[in-house]
Structure 1
Amino acid sequence: MDKGRTNQATQMFENLGGILRKFIFSILSIGPVPSHIAFIMDGNRRYAKKQNLIDGDGHRTGFSALMNMLKYCYELGTKHVTVYAFSIDNFKRSPEEVQSIMQLMQEKIEGLIEEESIVNRYGIRVYFLGDLKLLNKPVRLAAERAMGATAKNSKAVLSICIAYTSLDEITHAVQESVEEKCDEIRVLNTSGAGYHHREHLINVTDIEEHMYTAVAPNPDIIIRTSGETRLSNFLLWQSAFCILYSPSVLWPEISVWHLVWAVLDFQRNYSYLEEKKKQA
């Protein structure tokens, strides 16, 4: 009986929270709503240490925080969310920690495509971005299954940067651009048409089209928890005209109010950022 009453009380508070969020988001939507928010999920290990949790439980709590943030973003009307899940540099951690994180990733990736998951409830298409061949086979296959299973979803996009750094992404994009231009020149030479040097120089658009993150517009806001203001090799190319918000809370502690403050900051600076984009 007590358990039933507790569940009823919990559900009541969740319903009240949903009504309050809807009211707040309706007010925010009067101003410009960010189309793309990116997250650097910093502080899972420190949270585990702070709460005396066993290894891995900080990341599990962090995953729950991510699911809440996704729900809040899509309720707000933000169509693109990108998260920094695992850097190439993170492979330098101890083999035991890397293996533990990979196992957790596989478990959570497989959970994303379950019928009742947030991905299916909100019609979200999932992309995994980065050098995926660096992942172990079970995680890579799980990522491929999730991308295939959500390929027809069109209401929103979740991009998960895994085995990713911005420097690797830019290098990859330049290499792809060079190979494409070489193929074009080879075809022209074979056909006898010849080519004009200037017309086949690599430009910014060529590079951007070959970025891992070409599936989404540049972010309007990057939120990094734990008070850090570094981008840590994340979206360096794409972040020239976005707001960086750095709340002091650790990632598992992030709440809807941090999202609200980030959006208010974006709206306050919107005109300035748009003008800078025009001048670029």
Structure 2
Amino acid sequence: MLPALISNSLDWIHTRVSQKVQDALLAILSAGPIPRHVAFIMDGNRRYARRQHRVVAEGHAQGFETLSQVLKTCMRLGVRCVSVYAFAIENFNRSPAEVEALMSLAENKLIEISKHDALLDRYGIRLNALGRRDMLPPNVLAAVEKAESMTRKNNKAVLNICMPFASHDDIVSAVQTSAEKAIENHDSVITEDDVDACISTSVVGSPPIDILVRTSGVKRLSDYMTWQTCETAQIQFSSRYWPDFGLWDFVPILLDYQQKIWSSPA
């Protein structure tokens, strides 16, 4: 009994010390420039599952848990908007079993949010679903719309869940909308600003992306936020699989962002 008590006590001390260190670190980081909008390509769930000798669905489930922790960290730092690549349009080409598991997981998580999500309520986060909603199964679309409705009055921060999403589709849609507006207003020219105003993140009022992070060591954008990251956004790549990504992986990214902001011409 005594060894178990000592072990439990040490675990408690480690947790408390670790939490205090994290709190102090977040306070220090918060004193510097904080990005308004951070986007994540949450890559590596399947490889994480294989490494852990688990089924792929468990890797995706763990990825959702990581999202909750990363979102909490962003909110504590004062990040205004977080966007995540939850499901690419091309992911429909994966095995039917994996697609079904992902859709079921998304529906369940959205239903949880609709009932009562302490994290979104606590930080006043409004949820938006960006992408080809018409491609979602009816039950998932219903869960999306309910989650959006339940958080619509939240106005302190934003979580954009991109599903099913592709940048080329986002840009084509924005150009089409811009053309339709130009025809209605009898305009003969469509400007870059016109298209930018119709890009999905602009439509929901999100600020420009400051940092885009891709995990798993893969160094490409995979058709995600290419319009939004083409100018000033800082693109960062982490070797961690998304389910393993945590505060200690995020800190160097934030420090690099702050260093570049401080060193840039006024």
Give the TM-score normalised by the residue count of structure 1: 0.87
- Segment drifting more, 124-133 vs 214-223: 214-223
- Segment drifting more, 236-245 vs 112-121: 112-121
CA distance in 1, matches of 2:105, 2:133: 16
CA separation of 1:4/1:216 partners in 2, compared to 1, >3 Å: closer, same or farther? Answer: farther
Aligned counterparts, 1:17-166, within 5 A: 17-166=18-167
What letter corresponds to residue 202 of structure 1 in structure 2?
I
Aligned counterparts, 1:96-245, within 5 A: 96-185=97-186, 200-214=188-202, 215-239=205-229, 240-245=231-236
Superposed structure 1 runs of 4+ greater than 3 Å apart: 1-18, 271-275
State the Cα deviation string for residues 59-83 of structure 1 (Å, max 9, x = none).
0111111100001111111111000
Is contact 2:212–2:233 with CA below 8 Å preserved after alignment? yes
State the Cα deviation string for residues 218-251 of structure 1 (Å, max 9, x = none).
2111111111120110110111211111111101
What letter corresponds to residue 162 of structure 2 in structure 1?
C
Is contact 1:111–1:117 with CA below 8 Å preserved after alignment? no
Shift of 1:120: 1.4
Secondary structure of the residue aligned to 2:185 is: helix
Secondary structure of the residue aligned to 1:149 is: helix
Shift of 1:7: 7.7
CA distance in 2, matches of 1:62, 1:8: 30
Name the larger-Rg structure: 1
Is contact 2:45–2:56 with CA below 8 Å preserved after alignment? no
What letter corresponds to residue 213 of structure 1 in structure 2?
T
CA distance in 1, matches of 2:81, 2:19: 21
CA distance in 2, matches of 1:203, 1:175: 13
- Segment drifting more, 44-53 vs 4-13: 4-13
Cα RMSD of the aligned pairs, angstroms, is: 2.2
Shift of 1:16: 3.5
Secondary structure of the residue aligned to 2:232 is: coil
Is contact 1:35–1:80 with CA below 8 Å preserved after alignment? yes
What letter corresponds to residue 141 of structure 1 in structure 2?
A
Are 2:258 and 1:258 equivalent residues in the alignment? no
Shift of 1:20: 1.8
State the Cα deviation string for residues 184-218 of structure 1 (Å, max 9, x = none).
12xxxxxxxxxxxxx64111111111111112112
CA distance in 1, matches of 2:178, 2:166: 18
In the alignment, which residue of structure 2 is the partner of 1:268?
259
Is contact 2:126–2:151 with CA below 8 Å preserved after alignment? yes
What letter corresponds to residue 38 of structure 2 in structure 1?
I
Secondary structure of the residue aligned to 2:129 is: strand
User: Number of aligned pairs?
Assistant: 262
What letter corresponds to residue 57 of structure 2 in structure 1?
G
Shift of 1:9: 6.5
Secondary structure of the residue aligned to 1:245 is: strand
CA distance in 1, matches of 2:265, 2:111: 39
Secondary structure of the residue aligned to 1:121 is: helix
CA distance in 1, matches of 2:223, 2:190: 23
- Segment drifting more, 108-117 vs 154-163: 108-117
Structure 2: stretches of 5+ with no match in the other structure: none
Is contact 1:35–1:219 with CA below 8 Å preserved after alignment? yes
Give the TM-score normalised by the residue count of structure 2: 0.91
Q: Identity rate of aligned residues, in percent?
A: 38
Is contact 1:112–1:118 with CA below 8 Å preserved after alignment? no
CA distance in 1, matches of 2:164, 2:40: 16
Shift of 1:15: 4.2
CA distance in 1, matches of 2:164, 2:158: 19
Shift of 1:11: 6.0
